[in-house]
Amino acid sequence: MVAMTLTRGPDAAIEAKLPLITAAAAVGTLIEWYDFYLYGVLAVFFSQQFFSPQLDPALAFILSLAVFGTGFLVRPIGAIVFGHLGDRIGRKFTFTLTLLLMGGATFVIGLLPGYATIGLLAPLLLVLMRVIQGLAVGGEYGGAATYIAEHAPDGKRGFYTSWIQATATMGIVLALLIILACRLGLGDTPFADWGWRVPFWMSAALVLLSIYIRLKLDESPLYARLRQQGKTSDNPARESFASGRNWRLMLLALFGATAPEGVVWYAGQFYALFYLAVVLKVPYVTICALMMIVLTLAAPLFIVFGALSDRIGRRNVMTLGFALAAISYWPVFSWLAAVKDNPFLLGVLVFYMMILVTMVYGPIAAFLVELFPARLRCTSMSLPYHVGNGIFGGLVPLAGAALAAALGGPLYGLIYPIGIAALGVGVSLLWLKPRTNDVRIWDEVGGAPPLVPDQP
């Protein structure tokens, strides 16, 4: 006999449109991540174009990574500003505005003159555009993840929000694909001189298309009901940061989830990319092709682990990923050096690291959404997410390069991500509950409770 339980969620008409709504929101997020990570993929070229040619190339590369890092450092500020707007005005308005800001800054980067033309002003303007990008992405994630989560029924939230998680990686794939096409089409010398600008220019058309799609979306049904019931916050930022209980939740989310998730994400993708290019001297075209194949093959695993977290708990899936990263990063990067002339084996090792990325990143949106109340959700979840990813995670390439230079070996750069991942294991096991689908965010607004059969 099959038992019936009440699981709250959106009404049947909204739930029927959920796959289309998820896809539409995810496309916009993919384009925004494409914009944000173009710089990271092209960091080597920025070190050549925007800094004095008298600088040592290694120092110029570290400075280029530092500019890359400025976009991450301001992400928490964007999280507070746009999170406040998301809770005060609405989810749809916020993630449409952030997309517009991101697109504008990305297009301008493609127009900036280099150091040879305007001297020191070139890196300063580059930093300004990265700051705008960082502020925008600080607001994008909380708005988009909350938007999808507040369409999804209780018990399926990990599955649906994991599609948003996959867009960050696919944004890198899109960036790599367009960069590789431009480089092969133009040739190495023209690409290094001016062709690197083309992917930034192309962003304008992609962003306009995405904004058109987003403007056709309706507001999150859960937030719409919250507003109809007069339960929205008059000052979400003040409520979020004046509450001791809320601060405790944000700190647990930071050190037990988002900081370790952030370092695993950036170590498995960007630090691996830089390590292959700068340390092992693998040809750039080989790296682009390898990363595109590996990231594309791994992308479905975000959905797999997001759905798995609906069944066995967000914490359980993520903590296993943290532990594997802490244990295995040193040998995996050592093996990369040993097989650097074998693209297939390089791909296998990078794919393993991507499995860890999908384990820790697939469930994170559902975990954060369920941790905070709807009236403060965008503000409260965005701050630990962007401190964890933007500061702890975003500094992985720079911290790794600096540690490697200071301690005299490229593997020493792994001390930082290994340490943060190990910290995440301890905090999550000690203080985070292994939540599953018992978290009912729709209870706050009395969401329609469709009957869902339990397993016999």
Please report the pLDDT score of residue 8 as a whole number. Answer: 63
Q: List alpha helices for 110-197, DSSP H.
A: 115-118, 121-149, 157-186, 188-193
Beta-strand relationship, 451-453 and 4-6? antiparallel
Instruction: Count CB-CB contacts under 10 A for residue 120.
Output: 11
Rounded distance between C-alpha atoms, residue 372 and residue 209, angstroms: 32
pLDDT tens track, the chain, 456 positions:
333 344 567 777 777 788 888 887 787 778 877 877 788 778 888 888 899 888 888 888 888 888 887 888 898 899 999 999 999 998 888 888 988 898 899 999 999 999 999 999 999 999 999 999 989 988 877 788 888 988 888 889 999 999 988 888 888 889 888 988 998 899 989 998 999 999 999 988 888 888 888 888 888 888 888 888 998 999 999 999 999 999 999 999 999 999 999 999 999 988 898 899 888 999 988 988 898 899 999 999 999 999 999 999 999 999 999 999 999 999 999 999 999 999 999 999 999 999 999 999 999 999 999 999 888 998 899 889 989 988 899 889 888 888 988 998 889 999 999 999 999 999 999 999 876 556 778 877 765 433 333 333
Rounded distance between C-alpha atoms, residue 371 and residue 379, angstroms: 12
Helix/strand/coil for 26: helix
Instruction: Count CB-CB contacts under 10 A for residue 117.
Output: 10
Instruction: Count CB-CB contacts under 10 A for residue 163.
Output: 21
Angle at the Cα of 126 from the Cα atoms of 121 and 132, rounded to 5 degrees: 130
Rounded distance between C-alpha atoms, residue 316 and residue 298, angstroms: 20
Please report the pLDDT score of residue 1 as a whole number. Answer: 37
Q: List alpha helices for 42-120, DSSP H.
A: 43-49, 57-73, 75-88, 91-109, 115-118
Rounded distance between C-alpha atoms, residue 41 and residue 113, angstroms: 19
Angle at the Cα of 268 from the Cα atoms of 263 and 271, rounded to 5 degrees: 80
The position carrying tokens 């009957």 is 451
Asked if residues 154 and 441 have their Cβ atoms less than 8 Å apart, the reply is: yes
Rounded distance between C-alpha atoms, residue 352 and residue 71, angstroms: 28
Helix/strand/coil for 448: coil
Please report the pLDDT score of residue 444 as a whole number. Answer: 76
Single-letter code of the amino acid located at 285: V
- Going by the DSSP 8-state scheme, the letter that residue 443 receives in this structure is G
Please report the pLDDT score of residue 438 as a whole number. Answer: 62
Indicate the angle between helix axes 18-41 and 198-215, nearest 10 degrees: 160
Rounded distance between C-alpha atoms, residue 401 and residue 395, angstroms: 10
Rounded distance between C-alpha atoms, residue 252 and residue 103, angstroms: 33
Which domains, and CATH codes, for the chain? 12-435 (1.20.1250.20)
pTM score, whole prediction: 0.85
Please report the pLDDT score of residue 452 as a whole number. Answer: 37
Helix/strand/coil for 451: strand
Choose among 19, 27, 246, 26: nearest CA to 153. Answer: 19
Single-letter code of the amino acid located at 229: Q
The position carrying tokens 């930034």 is 200
- Going by the DSSP 8-state scheme, the letter that residue 151 receives in this structure is T
The answer for residues whose C-beta is within 8 angstroms of residue 293's C-beta and 6 or more apart is: 347
Choose among 400, 155, 153, 450: nearest CA to 269. Answer: 400
Asked if residues 61 and 278 have their Cβ atoms less than 8 Å apart, the reply is: yes
Rounded distance between C-alpha atoms, residue 367 and residue 282, angstroms: 38
